[in-house]
Structure 1
Amino acid sequence: MSKAIEDQSIKKNKIKILEDELHSEHIRKEAHLTVGHFFELLEDHFATRKTIEFYAVQLDTTSNKLNKLIKSYFGFSATELIKIRLLIAIKKDLATTETSINMLAKKYLFSSASAFNRIFTLYTGMAPTRFRALAYNINLIK
Structure 2
Amino acid sequence: MRQIISMLANRINSITDELVKATVRKLAETYIGIVAESVREAGLQQERHSRRHIEIVLSFIHLLAERLAVNRSPSYYASLLHISPVYLNEVVKEVTGMSATLYIRNELILQAKRLLVYTGLAVKEVSDRLGIDDYAYFTRIFTQTTGISPTTFRQKNLE
TM-score band by shorter chain is 0.7 to 0.9
Aligned residue type for 2:136: S
Contact residue 88 and residue 100 of structure 2 kept, 8 A = yes
User: What are the within-5 Å matches in structure 2 for residues 1-142 of structure 1?
Assistant: 28-137=50-159
Aligned residue type for 1:135: N
State the distance in 1 between where 2:59 and 2:98 align. 17
Percent identity at matched positions? 28
The RMSD of aligned alpha carbons is 1.5
State the distance in 1 between where 2:96 and 2:122 align. 34
Secondary structure of 1:99's aligned partner: coil
State the distance in 2 between where 1:33 and 1:92 align. 27
State the distance in 2 between where 1:107 and 1:44 align. 13
* Aligned-pair CA distance for 1:113: 1.5
* Aligned-pair CA distance for 1:50: 0.7
Secondary structure of 2:153's aligned partner: helix
Q: Please report the TM-score for the alignment, with normalisation by the length of structure 1.
A: 0.73
Which runs of 4 or more aligned residues in structure 1 lie more than 6 Å from their structure 2 counterparts after TM superposition? Answer: none
Instruction: Name 1:8's counterpart in structure 2.
Output: none
Contact residue 69 and residue 132 of structure 2 kept, 8 A = no
* Aligned-pair CA distance for 1:91: 0.2
Contact residue 92 and residue 100 of structure 2 kept, 8 A = yes
Point out where structure 2 has 5 or more consecutive residues left out of the alignment: 1-49
Count of aligned pairs: 111
Q: Please report the TM-score for the alignment, with normalisation by the length of structure 2.
A: 0.65
* Aligned-pair CA distance for 1:60: 0.9
Point out where structure 1 has 5 or more consecutive residues left out of the alignment: 1-27, 138-142
